[in-house]
Amino acid sequence: MPAEGVPKGARRMVDASLAHETGDPMLYLAPFMFPARLALERRVAVGRYFTAIQRGDRDELMALLTPDAVTRWPQSGERITGATSCVRVHESYPGGPPKYRVNRITGAGEVWTAELVSDYNGETWYGLSVLEFRGTRIARMTDYFGQAFPAPEWRRDLVELEVASA
C-alpha cells in the first residue's frame, strides 16, 4: 500500500477513470482513506472554505464545493443551489463579506461544524455553520446567525458573562 494509505489498484482506478472528470482525485479517494486522514482533510477544508470566503478566492471556493452544493439559511428561508450560485452570493455582499473569525471546528464522519464570530457593519453576530461532505468536498451547508444581545437582568446571578469580539 502506498504511504498515503490508498490501495495501489484503487489509486490507478481513481486516476484513470474519475479524476479527469473533475480534476479532483481527493473527492474520489475518500473511500480509500484511513478515517483519521479523511477527518483531517475535512477539518482543513472547513478552514480553507471560510478563509476563501473572506479573501474572495473564487477558484478555491469552487475547488472546495461539489458542483451541486447547497447552502441553506433557515432564518431567512433561503436556499442557494449549485457551487457557482453559492460563490456568487459571497461575491455579492455589499461592501464585501463580513469580517469574522472561526472560533472552533468540530465534527466527525460527513458532518462538521464551524462556530464563528462576525463583525457585520460594526455589529457583532454569532454563527454556526453545519457542513456536510461528499468525499473531501463540501456538498451542503446550513448556516445559523444570531446578533449579540445583552444578558437579561433576571439571570445575572446565575451565569458568568463571556466577552467575545469579532
Long-range contacts formed by 62-66: CB under 8 A, 24+ apart: 62/87, 63/24, 63/137, 64/137, 64/138, 65/137, 65/138, 65/139, 66/27, 66/134, 66/137, 66/138, 66/139
Q: Return d(Cα 85, Cα 145) in angstroms, integer.
A: 20
Half-sphere exposure of residue 150: CA atoms within 13 angstroms, side-chain side? 4
pTM of the full predicted structure?
A: 0.76
Strand-strand pairing, 65-73 and 137-147: parallel
The domain ranges of the chain are 34-158
Task: Looking at the structure, give the CATH architecture of the domain made up of residues 34-158.
Answer: Roll (3.10)
Q: Return d(Cα 96, Cα 100) in angstroms, integer.
A: 12
C-alpha cell at 64: 472546495
Per-residue pLDDT in tens (0 to 9) along the chain, 166 residues: 444 444 444 333 333 333 444 455 454 455 556 788 889 999 999 999 999 999 999 999 999 999 999 999 999 999 999 999 999 999 998 888 888 899 999 999 999 999 999 988 888 999 999 999 999 999 999 999 999 888 899 998 999 988 755 4
